[in-house]
Amino acid sequence: MGFADLLEKVGSMGRFQHLNISMLALPAFMMASHFLIQNFSGAVPRHHCRTLFDTNDSHYHNLSENVKSQDLLRIFVPMDSKQKPESCVRFSSPQWNLLNFNYTQANMTGLETEPCRDGWIYDQTEFSSTIISEWDLVCSYKSLKQFAQSIFMGGILTGGIIFGGLADRFGRKSILVWSYLQMAICGTCTAFAPSFTVYCIFRFFCGMAASGIIFNCISLNMEWIPTRSRTFVGTLNGHFYTCGQLILAGLAYGIRNWHWLQITVSAPFFVYFLYSWWLPESARWLVLNNKSEVAVKHLKRVAAFNGKKEEGDKITPELLESEMQREILAAKSTLPVISLFHTPAMRHISICLAFAWFSTSFAYYGLAMDLQNFGVSIYLIQVIFGAIDFPAKCACVLFMNYIGRRSTLVGFLIVSGLMVLSNVFVPKDMTVLRTAFAVLGKGGLAGTFTCVYLFTIELYPTVVRQTGMGFTNIMARIGAMIAPMVQMTADYFQFLPLVIYGMAPVLSGIIAYFLPETLNMPLADTVDEVENSRIVIAWEQCNSRKSFLIDECQVEFGMKQNHSCFGERRTAGCPELQHDL
């Protein structure tokens, strides 16, 4: 009997659990907005160099009243192949002869141009204001847009490291409450940033807060619900984030000014901060940190809320500690990060999972933050990109249950990568086909997140499971942080970002093939169990490949051919096999 059994006594999935899940789910709807808001707040409007007739020069101002502005623009700014003004250059001197429309494109070769020296004029038809138009993040400064998104992702990485440790020390609730307040204040202050530097600083702190919110919401959810409901609730939380992508598209469509959009997605966190004081601390964490009396109070409160007051009154600190002896011992035996690489089996699992997490996050955010390059409405593509996650995640769950975790992970990674790579060969004017390939790739990566999360939990033994989850999440954050910077490679070769985003999942899918399958397998508790299981599997593979050379396998692994426990893939409780190993 353990904490899970105590939860059953005080109401299992009762009214408290439903209310707790709902209150922790509301912020998830807005988390997608902070991750992806720069698709809209950092959208690049059409622009061209500021010219003399855009100034207060009376001579050119009077001239512009007699000549259509589009025609007058030809005098100062070269036109591209689509007869649109070039974005980053202007003529060194006005070319009046270009008012003669018989003057062909061939006649324009050799005309001297120069970079924009007086700023830019932005088309406000689609976006009334963005950080791009506010701080002129175009042309030679366009890489700063990707830099800002990487800063945000760097904040998420930093927050995971800092807030993860603080949550283990001071509790999930206290760090969650602080994260809500930090997100509310820093998110709102971002809208009033006087400079790009200040904007990046506040976005960094927003990223830190986002990390604190995500991890502690998951912890408080999972530690207050029975084991049988964790998969369902975890999947449900993923769908909340997906819904948030659709909400962002609607908000951005209605609010075209980036200042107001930023305030709109940040202000709700003041509300979350206020009601989060009602949330109880994790009773499991309280017991593991020698606060059994407080844990009992919370459990009795939950029991009363669920209509199980009599059962709650029976719980005492002594009973709680005795029932949770196994959890307490497991918590004390948790090993450091270096233990993930000590033995061959753990090293093998950790390296393969590191590639899978890194490439999934890397390619996912590489696609999700590049909506303007598809040539269709940015609002429509955001809706499509969000909606594809629903069927992708459902399909992933079905595949995991029927063909196994490893095959699903390998398949989703490779197919997703190939979908992204396909766009390298599709002409830019075929926008529908390019969008279809990108949507399928992004959906596959969303499913991969679902698979690799469960697979990681099942591969790592109990003593390092939390450590392993922390390590793999760090790899994912590093991938997300690097992803925006890859866009800069388009300056050298237009197709290079797609090649990089596509090859990463394909290579990781090949590497993931070497992970062991965990479908219908019991969870390992110790590193020794994982290591012994690896040897047994390797021996069986050797035996099957070299059935005519059984002696070689016996020599290689030092085992006898007939062991009654080989089929179990677990060496615990099999002294004969443990002796041979």
Q: Where residue 569 falls among pLDDT bands split at 50, 70, 90?
A: very low
Identify whether residues 70 and 187 lie together within a single domain.
Answer: no
Within this chain, do residues 407 and 455 fall inside the same structural domain, yes or no? yes
Domain boundary among the residues 315, 332, 349 is at 332
- Reported confidence tier of residue 335, pLDDT bands at 50, 70, 90: low
CA 546 distance to own-chain centroid:
44
Verify that 494 and 552 share a domain, yes or no. Answer: no
What is the reported pLDDT for 333?
60
User: Are residues 282 and 205 part of one domain?
Assistant: yes
Q: What is the pLDDT of residue 549?
A: 44
| Alpha carbon distance 493, 152 (integer Å) | 26
pLDDT digit string, tens, across residues 148-193: 999 999 999 998 888 877 887 888 888 999 999 999 999 999 999 9
Among 332, 363, 388, give the residue marking a domain's end.
332
Residue 127 lies in a domain: no
Handedness of CA 387, 393, 396, 402 (dihedral sign): negative
User: How much is the pLDDT for 327?
Assistant: 66
Residue 129 lies in a domain: no
List the domain range (segments joined by +) for residue 532. Answer: 527-580
**In this predicted structure, what is the pLDDT of residue 77?**
82
Q: Which has the minimum average pLDDT: 39-48, 334-343, 389-398?
A: 334-343
**56: exposed, middle or buried (C-beta count within 10 Å: 0-12, 13-18, 19+)?**
exposed
pLDDT of 71 reads 65
Asked if the structure places residue 42 within a domain, the reply is no
Q: What are phi and psi of 257, to 5 degrees?
A: -95, 125
What pLDDT is attached to residue 561?
44
Query: Is position 40 within any domain?
Result: no
Let me know if residue 130 belongs to a domain: no
Mean pLDDT of 550-572: 45
Q: Residue 374 region, left (φ>0) first, then alpha (ψ -120 to 50), else beta?
A: alpha
- For residue 128, tell me if it sits in a domain: no
Asked if residue 192 is part of any domain, the answer here is yes
Which has more confidence, 371 or 4? 371
pTM of the model: 0.81
pLDDT given at position 454: 82
As for how many domains the chain has, the answer is 4
pLDDT tens track for 133-151: 999 998 888 888 889 999 9
Percent residues over pLDDT 90 in the chain: 24
442 and 548, same domain (yes or no): no
Q: Is the same domain home to 281 and 145?
A: yes
Contacts of 157 (CB under 8 A, 6+ apart): 207, 211, 474, 477, 478, 481
d(CA 213, CA 377): 31
Residues making up the chain, counted from first to last: 581
**Residue 299: C-alpha distances to residues 2, 5, 211, 362 (Å):** 14, 12, 27, 41
pLDDT category at 107 given cuts 50, 70, 90 is low
**CA distances, 570 to each of 518, 530, 559, 564, 567 (Å):** 12, 8, 15, 11, 8
Inform me whether the pLDDT recorded for 491 exceeds 90: no
* In 138-267, alpha helices (H): 143-170, 172-191, 196-222, 230-254, 258-266
pLDDT range class, residue 8, cuts 50, 70, 90: confident
pLDDT at 53: 63
pLDDT at 530: 77
Stretch 482-506: mean pLDDT: 88
Does the structure show a pLDDT above 50 at 564?
no
Does residue 269 carry a pLDDT above 80? yes
pLDDT category at 20 given cuts 50, 70, 90 is confident
Average pLDDT over residues 563-578: 44
Q: How confident is the model at residue 105 (pLDDT cuts 50, 70, 90)?
A: low
Q: Which residues contact 66 (CB under 8 A, 6 or more apart)?
A: none
The larger pLDDT score, comparing residue 579 to residue 522, is at 522
Alpha carbon separation from 307 to 14, 224, 275, 507 (Å, rounded): 9, 16, 22, 53
Kind plus residue range of the DSSP H or E element containing 544: helix 527-545
Would you say residue 538 has pLDDT above 60?
Answer: no
Residues 342 and 326 in one domain: no
**E strand or H helix at 16:** helix 15-36
Q: Which of 139, 84, 99, 95 is nearest to 117 (CA)?
A: 139
pLDDT value of position 70: 61
Mean pLDDT of all residues in 504-508? 95
**208 & 316 share domain:** yes
**Roughly what angle, to the nearest 10 degrees, separates helices 405-422 and 389-402?**
140
Confirm if 421 and 499 have CB atoms less than 8 A apart.
yes
Contact by Cβ (8 Å): 328, 285: no
pLDDT at 355: 95
